[in-house]
Amino acid sequence: MIIKDKSKLTTKCKPVNVVNGEIIGAKLLNELRNSEPSGIGLAANQIGINKRVCVINVKEPLVLINPKIVEK
């Protein structure tokens, strides 16, 4: 169910509380595991959820809730 329309990915995502973030994170990890081709990361807005949650799965799954880029 990954969104192909890139215009939907430019909308600023809304913050989420920790409990809902964990629920969304579990959904993202499940979607990531079942996606073809498989990837190493997925953001909530990529599957139509406009919330600040993403997951990274390299050595072990990591759920980021309301992450902020503080330096580049």
- Say what the pLDDT of residue 67 is: 93
- Say what the pLDDT of residue 15 is: 97
**Cα angle: 35, vertex 42, 3; to 5 degrees:** 70
What distances in angstroms separate CA 52 from CA 5, 9, 34, 39, 41, one per listed residue?
A: 18, 12, 21, 19, 14
pLDDT tens figures, 14-53 = 999 999 999 999 999 999 888 877 789 999 999 899 999 9
Reported confidence tier of residue 4, pLDDT bands at 50, 70, 90: confident
pTM for this model (two decimals): 0.85
Reported confidence tier of residue 7, pLDDT bands at 50, 70, 90: confident
